[in-house]
Chains A and B, each alone.
Chain A
Amino acid sequence: MNKEFSVVGKPVIREDGLDKVTGRAKFADDYKFPGMLHAVMLRISSAHAKINSIDFSAIENDESLVSIITADDVPGTKKVGMIKNDQPIFCNEKVVTPGDVLAMIVGESEAKLHELVKKIKVDFTPLPLLTDPKKSLETDAVLIHPVEGSNLIIHHPLRKGNVEKGFAESEFVLEQTYSTQLIEHSYLEPEAVVAIPLETSLGVKVIGSIQNPFTTRRFVSEVLNFPLSKVRIQQAHLGGSFGGKDDIMCILSARAAVAAMKINRPVKIRYTREESILESYKRHPYVLNYKVGYNKSGKIQAMKIDILADGGAYASMSPFVTWRTVVQATGPYEIENVHTDVRAVYTNNPYTGAMRGFGSPQPIFAQESLMDEIAVQLNMTPDEIRKVNGYKSGSITATGQKLQNHEVNLLTVLETAEEDTGFRKKWLENKKDKSQLIEYDFSSPIINESQFISPDSLIKKGIGLAVSFRGCSLGAEGTDAASAYISIQNDGSVYLDCGLAENGQGLRTTYSIIAAEVFGISTDQIIYLELDTGTTPDSGPTVASRATLMGGGAVKATAEILRKRLEELIRSEWNLKSDDEIVFQNNQVLITNHQSPITFKDICKLAYQRGISLATIGWYKSPSVGWDEHVGQGDAYFTYVYGCQVAEVRVNIATGEIYVDKVTAVHDAGKVINMLGALGQVYGGVTQGAGYGIFEEVTTDKGFIRELNFDQYTIPTSKDIGEINPIFVEGKDIYGPWGAKSLGEPTLELTAAAISNAVYNAVGKRFFKLPMNLEEVLLSKKLRPEDLKRGSK
């Protein structure tokens, strides 16, 4: 009895939608408790300094002050980290970046604390600054963390074939350098967390805007020296994360917990936008050198890649971010000879870590620019060069992995995008219009009469594309498993919970759809429980676009355990023959060649009466992957997704403005579970990717950030991005719930590269440095104000 999906793939409104649009949903700062105190951070105006002493005498006796919290109050680990423990909870010895916090003062009035914190005197000795990552590995470079012995955070080498031989056999060799910028996640809700001391035997509870409750629990337990079970993390509704509420929230949670346990009162930390941008981690700026050898057929023979990532002041997620880079750096192209080195280094800049895309948007910008450049040189179209080199079923990746067990849909997404947009015709048409951007000579700021642009050639049209492959979930980064909890009540309503966390991406709705599909009931029968590490099983972090694949797999497995119990009950209760089929559908259970349908509710009631447990925890574990870190070879990820985005732009050649008129986003994310959720991912990802391409940049001056709020840090508004046209190619896969895989990050990683290629198509000029802001487009450089003073000058 084959049945169509009842809810999977349909557009389902998110379960928290109404609460969020009516303001009922509780975010971290909405939680208030009797006796709750606030905490305010002490920082100094230096990016690198040795702390000699902190003098609190001016505030010690102030009645607004309840407590001062310093490193001495930390009972457990004083330094924490995602991978390396190099980040102090409180910096009592030295600061290595301006966001660093030396101590924290606690009291009832946040406003009073902000006045008091200015009166604390810190005696410090400035240390030499290191802000250029290219100088981090020089022998005389100052060490950011002397105990590490070097400023090298990580080096990932990859060796396949023989590149020198490959270059020697190539008809052409091209070398280019690209750079990408530091950017901010720009989640709408700044950091907020409250720690509540529980009864003595129970430890502490933390409620916050937390991306990864289980990682947060680890940090808090290490810092308090508590067993994991005495730290309970509850997730509040999250006002955006994009990978940004991981370590920063772990650290803020630990600080709040240290204070709460010392004072024995609830303590809240909440950041202003300025503090958020100042302290939170960002996306890695990369410098990428690519050397590529190819023949006139377009076939790539060899690729040598050298990438340097600015990890900033702390290691954070740098080792994993750059690992994804080394796996994917060639792009989805079959190349026999590859030689890649990816390094991340320490500097005194704001530290960098996880952000949606996670080490992929940077190499995609480089490698997709490079592919277009080769195409133009060889008189091919951008799609042709990609078809020559692109992955097909059975292709071998740069890491030596054979692509199998899933549909390798790279060329399918490319062809779909091409047909839908009429790519080739438009690309060739725009290319004919040869007029160039004007080269100004700034020694004479008044432009020549001949340089004035005639109004009818002010605007140039361009179309560009970019493709990618992306490893799903964690890959060889670590253990990859997730679990879910389902409890069916005797009236047929269902409680559902999973150890992966709602980050605003709509995971709860996706999981509810999966459970509803298995039970043949409607999604409104399912109540999604809040995530609490005290009751929810650990499923690892909600990262790497793994929620639908791994958590969804766990929810499906769990629901299937319970459905099997119901099926067994039905078989014995009605003495069914072994080939009688049972179908769960429309809130009913249908049995072949048998009586009228029974309601799901009645079956659940019967199970309860018969003493059958309808609550269970289920598990989904990824197949094993492998990695040899010395040569960068192995089956890096167990499955992959493919995407192609086409950007259609107009460029104003007088101002350098890029108008993104349309982005067609074709993604093979496997089976789509919630159509509305999937569309939302594309709209958001493309917009964020466009911001990365043309607007966004956190700039620093001696380590200090210039853009501390959204008046200066410009993210795209709804008026800046035109039509977004998502198209889903649902490739089959043996993994994930009904073959559902990853979508969140692929949607973002391609857009900047596609826009850059479109701009080239429009004006005949290639850009090597993101973002392509007004000055970059017109002058091929960035202009910076001389100081950090705010406001238009």
Chain B
Amino acid sequence: MISSLEILIPKNLNEALSLLVERKNNCRIIAGGTDVVPGLQQGSNRFANSELLIDINRIPEIKSITQTREKISIGGAETFSDMLQNQIVKEELPLLWKACSTIGSVQIRNRATIAGNFVNNAPCADTVPALLVYNATIEVESLSSKKEISIGEFLTGPYKTKLNKDEIVTRINIPIPSKEFRGDFYKLGRRRAVAISRITLAVLTKTQNHMIDEIRIASGAVTPIGIRFSDLEKLAKGKYADDKFLKLLSQKLGEQILNVTGLRWSSEYKLPVVQQMFYQLLKEIEHG
């Protein structure tokens, strides 16, 4: 049961950032509430002693999607439904678009926001593998500072990020990938909607005559946080993408995941499946 809470709705970014400074000990930011409200309901430690919720839904600075020649910039409080309806996202960032489409249900996507998906850095955050392979950067603001860091740097550990208590994730900036990249996003849950991810994978590759020019690989849910596999990416560079190599790469992914996580109760299932499905994903991308 949620005890009574104060909720304030600032109208601009400055107002919100000021509130974070004034009330820094007992306040939490709320956007869609799809993480905060169940967390409060369950009495999660993450929300212990919360007395004030700052609702950032009506801050125009963090509610838009813009495009320049080099990048797409998504406001932190953009909902997944807004992103799914956005043609730029759909055409230029298909992996992110697909990741958004697998999240929750229509009702959840209508409320849940992109920054909300990764600010608590849960391992199963669906957008993270896509943001990782797109080399997204995160814009973070406080009253006194403004910084932009890569998503990989931002996500420091399970349920931990570089976000300070007085800061808000204002924008997610994504360099527009060259048209030569092909890729896909894969999610496995226990059912086909409203499912917590058991495995997520994102792959982006650039090949020339079946030679791997560049490959970017990221996972979620099978690792303690969403990560890029730079060793595999280096290994694959310049390799001929034949069936034998794709199998090898899939086995290597399994080894890397095993190294990072060790054996867990779910490994017996997840490890073979992640290798198989990564292989399927690579084959699919190869065949276009």
CB distance from A775 to the nearest CB of B (A): 5
Q: Is the CB of B192 within 8 A of A717?
A: yes
Question: In the bound complex, how far is the Cα of B250 from the Cα of A451, in angstroms?
Answer: 12
Partner of A655, one of B1, B4, B188, B251: B188
Q: Is the CB of B193 within 8 A of A717?
A: yes
Complex contacts, B60 vs chain A, CB 8 Å: none
Complex contacts, A438 vs chain B, CB 8 Å: 272
Complex contacts, A442 vs chain B, CB 8 Å: 268
Q: Is the CB of B284 within 8 A of A446?
A: no
Complex contacts, B277 vs chain A, CB 8 Å: 654-655
Contact mask A651-664 → B, CB, 8 Å, 1/0? Answer: 00011110000000
Contact mask B255-288 → A, CB, 8 Å, 1/0? Answer: 1001000011111110111011101100110010
Q: Is the CB of B190 within 8 A of A773?
A: yes
Complex contacts, B269 vs chain A, CB 8 Å: 656, 774-775, 778-779, 783
Partner of A792, one of B123, B247, B275: B123
Q: Indicate if B93 sits at the interface (CB-CB under 8 A).
A: no
Q: Indicate if B196 sits at the interface (CB-CB under 8 A).
A: yes
Assuming A447-B272, A654-B280, A717-B193, is B264 touching A793 (CB within 8 A)? yes
Q: Indicate if B3 sits at the interface (CB-CB under 8 A).
A: yes
CB distance from A686 to the nearest CB of B (A): 16
Q: Indicate if A149 sits at the interface (CB-CB under 8 A).
A: no
Complex contacts, A111 vs chain B, CB 8 Å: 1-4
Chain A interface residue count, CB cutoff 8 Å, equals 43
Complex contacts, A455 vs chain B, CB 8 Å: 280, 283-284, 287
CB closest residue in chain B, given A445:
B271
Contact residues of B between 195 and 223, Cβ < 8 Å to A? 195-198, 221
Q: Indicate if B179 sits at the interface (CB-CB under 8 A).
A: no
Question: In the bound complex, how far is the Cα of B284 from the Cα of A447, in angstroms?
Answer: 20
Q: Indicate if B25 sits at the interface (CB-CB under 8 A).
A: no
Complex contacts, B190 vs chain A, CB 8 Å: 695, 714, 773-774
Chain B interface residue count, CB cutoff 8 Å, equals 48
Complex contacts, B272 vs chain A, CB 8 Å: 438, 440, 445, 447, 451, 778
Partner of A452, one of B191, B247, B258, B263: B247
Complex contacts, B255 vs chain A, CB 8 Å: 446
Q: Indicate if B151 sits at the interface (CB-CB under 8 A).
A: no
Question: In the bound complex, how far is the Cα of B276 from the Cα of A115, in angstroms?
Answer: 49
Contact residues of B between 99 and 133, Cβ < 8 Å to A? 105, 122-124
Q: Indicate if B254 sits at the interface (CB-CB under 8 A).
A: yes
Contact mask A781-793 → B, CB, 8 Å, 1/0? Answer: 0011110001111
Question: In the bound complex, how far is the Cα of B276 from the Cα of A779, in angstroms?
Answer: 15
Q: Indicate if A711 sits at the interface (CB-CB under 8 A).
A: yes
Partner of A654, one of B3, B271, B276: B276
Complex contacts, B195 vs chain A, CB 8 Å: 714
CB distance from A276 to the nearest CB of B (A): 14
Complex contacts, A774 vs chain B, CB 8 Å: 190, 198, 269, 273
Complex contacts, A657 vs chain B, CB 8 Å: 188
Question: In the bound complex, how far is the Cα of B270 from the Cα of A785, in angstroms?
Answer: 13
Complex contacts, A716 vs chain B, CB 8 Å: 191
Question: In the bound complex, how far is the Cα of B198 from the Cα of A657, in angstroms?
Answer: 12
CB distance from B252 to the nearest CB of A (A): 9
Question: In the bound complex, how far is the Cα of B244 from the Cα of A718, in angstroms?
Answer: 39
Partner of B265, one of A440, A445, A449, A786: A786
Complex contacts, A785 vs chain B, CB 8 Å: 265-266
Q: Is the CB of B251 within 8 A of A447?
A: yes
Q: Indicate if B12 sits at the interface (CB-CB under 8 A).
A: no
Central interface residue in B42, B195, B269, B287, by most chain A CB within 10 Å: B269
Q: Indicate if A730 sits at the interface (CB-CB under 8 A).
A: no
Question: In the bound complex, how far is the Cα of B4 from the Cα of A656, in angstroms?
Answer: 44
Q: Is the CB of B192 within 8 A of A720?
A: yes
Q: Is the CB of B192 within 8 A of A449?
A: no
CB closest residue in chain A, given B196:
A792
Q: Is the CB of A792 within 8 A of B191?
A: no
Q: Indicate if A432 sits at the interface (CB-CB under 8 A).
A: no
Q: Is the CB of B1 within 8 A of A792?
A: no
Q: Indicate if A272 sits at the interface (CB-CB under 8 A).
A: yes
Complex contacts, A720 vs chain B, CB 8 Å: 191-193
Complex contacts, A560 vs chain B, CB 8 Å: none
CB closest residue in chain B, given A272:
B1
CB closest residue in chain A, given B282:
A455
Question: In the bound complex, how far is the Cα of B42 from the Cα of A174, in angstroms?
Answer: 49
Complex contacts, A449 vs chain B, CB 8 Å: 244, 247-248, 251
Q: Indicate if B194 sits at the interface (CB-CB under 8 A).
A: yes
Contact residues of A between 422 and 461, Cβ < 8 Å to B? 438, 440, 442, 445-447, 449, 451-453, 455, 458
Assuming A455-B283, A711-B38, is B258 touching A445 (CB within 8 A)? yes
Question: In the bound complex, how far is the Cα of B18 from the Cα of A321, in angstroms?
Answer: 63
Contact residues of B between 1 and 42, Cβ < 8 Å to A? 1-4, 38, 41-42
CB distance from B165 to the nearest CB of A (A): 22
Q: Is the CB of A792 within 8 A of B265?
A: no
Task: Please name 28 pairs of A and B residues whose Cβ atoms are closer than 8 Å in the assembled complex, sorted by A.
Answer: A110-B1, A111-B3, A272-B1, A440-B268, A440-B272, A445-B258, A445-B263, A446-B271, A449-B244, A449-B247, A449-B251, A452-B275, A452-B276, A455-B287, A654-B280, A655-B276, A655-B277, A695-B190, A714-B191, A717-B105, A718-B193, A720-B193, A778-B272, A783-B269, A785-B265, A785-B266, A791-B122, A792-B122
Additional pairs, 14, CB under 8 Å, beyond known A452-B275, A718-B193, A778-B273: A438-B272, A442-B268, A445-B254, A446-B254, A447-B254, A451-B272, A654-B273, A710-B194, A714-B191, A716-B191, A717-B192, A774-B269, A783-B265, A793-B266
Closest 5 CB pairs of A and B: A654-B276, A719-B192, A719-B193, A792-B124, A717-B193
User: Which of B's residues lie within 8 Å of A, judged by CB?
Assistant: 1-4, 38, 41-42, 105, 122-124, 188, 190-198, 221, 244, 247-248, 250-251, 254-255, 258, 263-269, 271-273, 275-277, 279-280, 283-284, 287
